[in-house]
Structure 1
Amino acid sequence: MEPTFLKGFPLVSLRLEDVIIRDSLYAKHNHTLLKAGSLELSVNALALMRGTIEIKKVSIIDAAIDLFTDVDGYSTTAVFKKSKGEPGSGGGTYPELRKFSLENVAFVIDNRKGGKLYNFKITDLNGIMKYSSKGWDADISLNTLVKSMAFSTRKGSFIKDKIVEGDFDINFNESEGLITVAPNELEIGGEDFIVGAKFKTSGPTSDFSINIENKKILWKNASHLLSPNITSRLDMFDLTEPISVKCDIIGDFNIVGDPLIRVNAIIKDNLLTTPGGQVSNCNFTGVFTNNHVKEKGFNDANSAVKLFNFNGNYGDIPISMKKVFILDFEKPIAVGDFSSKFEVAKLASLIDEGLMKFSKGTADIKVNFKADIVNFMLAKPLVDGVIKINNAN
């Protein structure tokens, strides 16, 4: 410990080295709340004389912070809780933190009860806070590697092994118990996103919503920012040109399992690759949700990819589908409609001439279909509708 006093009076500065903070049950769970190579603290001495605790700055360097919660709900943060009979537990002045920084800090929230794991390797984090009668505002800059952002450890992590860098404008309204992160540009894995969020801090629930938008991103790059159970299904498809994407993640940190995940994409004049071939000049609106039927929860069995107002060219043949749904990621099926009107001679680009060859005539197809999906291909299709072939040769 190296205390330094009257450094830039009225500030009193203190530096602690090799800091370790553990709770009384460390031997049982083996998780250290804080292990820091250096912790620097600056307080306003004049404010102390007025009975106010004003922390000008806290800096944590070369550290690991582990917020661990076991399956029974016990947390390492219990080290900060006072017993009912402990002096000072009935109230007092809350400290006001003005500036804070983290440098080379591993920050982990490991919630075994909720099945959630957030793991960040923070290169730099710097924040400035301002207080008002309604709460506080914070301006934060961050550069971190996301090792895990798993809302459900069973399903895997979002933005795994991606670097996140940017600024945050955060407001806390004390009467509402609400933290609001204003929409702002954030770089995630080399892509520029607009990200905003809200977090509830009071009451029996810990509701949150995270809103992410990118107006120009490749399909694969967007897909690989999601958890593996979603990525594996979206990777059935690929698009050559960038698309516009919005993603909403809405849930409760206190609830076991996935939050609501909703992704909307707009595709225009693109080249779509599917297990069944390519579609050029492709246009559609795409939606992913893990809550297709509201009463059935947020899970793979209730997940769906939905395509609306789909149109494009399959070979030389124009095709359109008002709705196509891929339902149930555990036992996937495809349902939808299909329509096309074309000269049958154009089938030459799709059908071997030795099997069938048309020299003239037209086809008019309007059908509904349902099929299992096996190894990303349609199987056992059921087709209902009308197929008209006119004047064919």
Structure 2
Amino acid sequence: MNQPKDVGIKEMPRLDKWLVLSIQHLFAMFGATILVPLLTGLSPAVALVSSGLGTLAYLAITKGQIPAYLGSSFAFIMPIIAAISIGGPEGAMVGSFFAGLVYGIVALIIKATGVHWLMKLLPPIVVGPVIMVIGLGLAAVAIDMAMNDPATEAYSGVHFGVAMFTLAITILASIFFRGFFGLIPILFGITTGYAFAAWQGLVDFAPVQEAAWIQAPEFLVPYVTYTPNFSFEIILIMVPIALVTLSEHIGDQMVLSKVAGKNFVEKPGLHRSIFGDGVATVISSFLGGPPNTTYGENIGVVALTRVFSTFVIGGAAVLAVGFGFIGKVSALITTIPTAVMGGVSILLFGIIASNGMRMLIDNHVDIGKKRNLIISSVILIIGIGGAFIQVTDTIEISGIALAAVIGIVLNMILPGRDRVKTSSEMFEEMTEDNQRDSESDGAA
């Protein structure tokens, strides 16, 4: 049987095929993208619009050469919650804006000096444990949503049962679904859990009935709906997280490069992709959405379908913007019970932590080496333990941000650092691994 032909990066599919492929990408990103605003108290409709506009900006900045979709970043969940507790959603948007600026500054430096210094600053031994902190630090949030009735903030067997049902369905979908459906277990888990929660009487459909079909999202626009308050405390909470997501960005670009057989780090260049990511986050901050990042779910769709067309990615972005303005859809999302989101979050946050561990394994980081053991141990305990530095009466550096900064410092000062590979060497290694995997599959 002949394998279907790859759809090239600049290739425009036939209209009917284009629509179906774009909807596929929309479904792949949908569950995770709406989960972040639901967990942080932001608007899911705004998150959809900002992810779509951010993706379109990313495609334009990268000259349509990288087939990547951008959605809500999980790394910023705890910082957003902390920022909202200090300055409300408006304060979180200010922090998000400055995080996006960090991307822009780093992109300019990379254009002038190359990318090697960034890989040296953020090696796997630093980024891996910080990613683990992000996932494990959210564990209490997931369990609280799963076990407690949000109305009374007390334990509820019904809510916990719904959460466990949702978790079980999501796990089964992750394990047994194949093809495209294997890429959307989160969405399947949420929809099935929602139906079960409705059967248990936990869903109020009144907001859906009252909502209009066409309805503008509740945007937060600076100097239009609010006056920004530039709080240094919020900036210190959110900006250091950009250092972590920058490293994740590099990893995503390497994976995409491996899948497509093109070195995107070299062409169109990491400076363009990072700048595009930063612009997407700035756009989101101007609208009231969470920071954006390249999505592993959509990279999985590209790898599975071998459809690399950026026209398809752009189509998904346009559809996401359109969904944000459908009032019935936005209202339906807001009726999802916290127990359902808690059940899904137990798996998702655990996967985030496991991905940090996977980064260490994939990069052959030897934890038996004292230097690596010390760096990872200190990052984990400081980040999960909630350590903080009180800078002034109103400004403190805490949690993930402090763990990331201390990890970077330890990596720079402790002796015995391993040589950092260049992007070309990493791409060549990944290409060789890909060829070996293909040969192994063929032999099998």
Same fold per TM (> 0.5)?
no
Q: Taking structure 2 as the reference length, what is the TM-score of the superposition?
A: 0.17
More RCO (CA 8 Å, sep 6+): 2
Q: Taking structure 1 as the reference length, what is the TM-score of the superposition?
A: 0.19
Bigger strand fraction:
1
Bigger helix fraction:
2
